[in-house]
Chains A and B, each alone.
Chain A
Amino acid sequence: MAVIELRGIKKSYGKRKKKLEVLHGIDVHVEKGEIFGLLGKNGAGKTTLIKVMAGLLIPDSAKGKVVGYDVIKESEKIRASVSLVAPTADIGVDPVLTVKQNLLFWATVYGIPPKNAGDVVAEVMEALDLAKFKDAWAMEISAGTRQRLAIARALLVKHDLVFLDEPTVKLDMEAAKMIRNFIVDLRNKYGITFFMTTHLIEEAEEICDRVMIMDNGTTRALGTIEELRRAFKEDEEIDITGKFNALILGKLREIWKVNAVHLDGEIQLRFYVENVESQLPKIIEMVKKHGEIINIKIKRLTLNDIFEKVIQ
């Protein structure tokens, strides 16, 4: 079941001669329970896209639904049915209230009945390791803890769809890892769909089921990491280091695209192949005929490689 099913999203800012179109007809399809990553450089249109989908911005044109509501006619219902974590932790965190007071305040804003609010707040604090800070003023806690507080606020209500705009920005590696684990746990436990933007490509690679790469208001790539790898597979590399006889390079080049580097009496062969899994056994068999293999390294395409290629 699609949680987001939108077609032809266009959005511009400004008027007449100063009009600037920032989304040029984007399509988005996100299934329930997906963790969907949106990647792009600053100014690519990521935040605008999130705001349109969350019902905060009125698009110039768009068709389709978000959490079952029409993106234009029922934006009020969309807004009441999704959560959002802004990129700056301080947004929505009152510095002179304690962590617990902040969350209890937002629980009321989100319409959580008073009899449940205490339990809900306690559960979220526990899950995000905030319980030990519950009586600390928000101004006293670290930026990373405030970011966790901001995420806790957004997760007070278990909406079907949560937008995360750079959720781990400002966090150290350990805290970022905790947030990522929490996101995955919530998805697994409650089936919540997460639509997240991030500049940390490794983060998207780690937890996103699918990613979309945006550039200048258009979709440049979309799919699972594997699908994207396959789409760019000609660039995958296999490095084999060893002691080989002089004839090897000519023989190999009859079959594969390969370069050689001489290193302290050893030769490093770099193969450029389209499909590592099918080619590797054949390569090893051929190389062994011409010498001794010392080391094999496979350089698979990372999402970062794909991102750089797409954005170029």
Chain B
Amino acid sequence: MTDLFNELRAIWAFSKREMVIWTSYRVNIWTWIIDVFINTSIFFLISLLVGHHLMGAYGTNYVSFVVIGLSIYYISYTNLGDPFPRVARIYWNGTMDLYMLSPLSYFTPVIGIMFRSVIDDYPRVGLAFLFGWLFFGANFTFRVPIYVILGVVLIGFSTFGIGMISASSFYLLNFKRGSEPISFILQDVVIALVGGYYYPVNVLPKYLQILASFIPHTYALDLFRRALLPGASLIQPVLPLQYVLSFSPIVVDTLILTLQTVVLFPLGFYLYYLGIQKARKEGTLTRWQ
């Protein structure tokens, strides 16, 4: 218990440090707000062009639809995309050895340093909802709140699991320079194309819909849109598995997300552990030799 308390205290110390560093660059806050505002504006303008005929089971408001897409994008951008560069930062600034020479677990420094992105990206979710609602006519309801809360937890943990798999490649596959293919292929290719951030998955060709069935984003977006968008259907299936399984779509989303989380989250941590052990054997833990 004491160990867990110490790990949490260390994560808090990392978080405070990252906060000090983040706020020391005062221009951050302004670029951050403008960035979210411009993003939301772009989709509002697209909504004027596209109209509402693509929405189907997700109601009639494209800006609301996209605000949810943007929100999951921000969470995924941090949880999935951030662990790898954080491990790279620890490696390149030579502190991996120092963190290893402490009572902390292998994972605490990575999680702690990620807080830089958490404070940068997570509040964008709130801002996207706020700007969408204030300026662009987005509106939301709050049906089935328990599923929404569960969905937030599950998409958070499942994407972080993939993020740790990506991070493990730094040591496990020696991707030490630039980006690495796991997060690129998933985040920037597969999820960007079939995840459904900006359009419903059922507009895609059938084979891409099947590909979409394997990623957590598909189910999280479906769940949140059904739960938060006024006029969205709680019973009309959209995703391939919702046609196969005889539960309500929102239950299918939750079950599949849970299954993916149970697999991806521990797998990510286990692979990262293997990566560290490999680096300890090969002497590649840090650039300082």
Contacts and interface: CB of A to CB of B under 8 A. Distances in A.
Interface in B243-289: 277, 280-283, 285, 288-289
B31 interface: no
A57 B283 contact: yes
Interface string B1-25: 0000010011011101100110010
B232 to A, nearest CB: 45
Contacts of B277: 58
A298 B69 CA distance: 83
A55 B101 CA distance: 8
A82 B100 CA distance: 11
A104 B17 CA distance: 10
Contacts of A97: 17, 20-21
A83 interface: yes
A124 interface: no
Contact of B102 (A58, A79, A96): A79
Interface in B166-218: none
Contacts of A91: 93-95, 97-98, 288
Interface in B75-115: 93-95, 97-104
Contact of B285 (A57, A88, A90): A57
A110 B103 CA distance: 6
Given A84-B98, A84-B101, A13 B283 contact: yes
A184 B97 CA distance: 25
Contacts of B288: 47, 86-88, 91
A311 B280 CA distance: 30
A10 to B, nearest CB: 13
Contacts of A105: 13-14, 16-17
B97 A86 contact: yes
B119 to A, nearest CB: 15
Determine the interface band of chain A, counting residues with CB < 8 A from chain B.
Answer: 20 to 34
A79 B285 contact: no
Interface residues of B, number: 30
Nearest to B17: A105
A56 B97 contact: yes
Interface string A96-113: 110001001100111100
Contact of B20 (A13, A101, A109): A101
A101 B102 CA distance: 18
Query: Residue among A83, A91, A153 with the most chain B CB within 10 A?
Result: A91
A252 B21 CA distance: 74
Interface in B16-47: 16-17, 20-21, 24
Contact of A111 (B6, B12, B16, B285): B6
Given A13-B283, A109-B104, A114 B17 contact: no
Interface in A42-78: 47-48, 51, 54-58
A86 B20 contact: no
B103 to A, nearest CB: 4
Nearest to A91: B94
Contacts of A11: 283
A84 B93 CA distance: 16
Query: Residue among B12, B21, B103 with the most chain A CB within 10 A?
Result: B103
Given A56-B285, A57-B283, A86-B288, A101 B98 contact: no
B107 to A, nearest CB: 13
A111 to B, nearest CB: 5
Interface string A9-48: 0010110000000000000000000000000000000011
A80 interface: yes
Nearest to B277: A58
Nearest to B7: A111
A154 to B, nearest CB: 8
B154 to A, nearest CB: 30
20 contacts: A51-B97, A51-B283, A55-B101, A56-B280, A57-B285, A58-B277, A79-B102, A80-B102, A80-B103, A84-B97, A86-B94, A88-B288, A91-B93, A91-B288, A92-B98, A94-B17, A96-B20, A101-B17, A109-B13, A111-B102
Interface of A: 11, 13-14, 47-48, 51, 54-58, 79-80, 82-84, 86-88, 90-92, 94, 96-97, 101, 104-105, 108-111, 114, 153
Given A86-B98, A91-B288, 5 more contacts: A80-B101, A96-B20, A101-B17, A105-B14, A109-B99
Interface of B: 6, 9-10, 12-14, 16-17, 20-21, 24, 93-95, 97-104, 277, 280-283, 285, 288-289
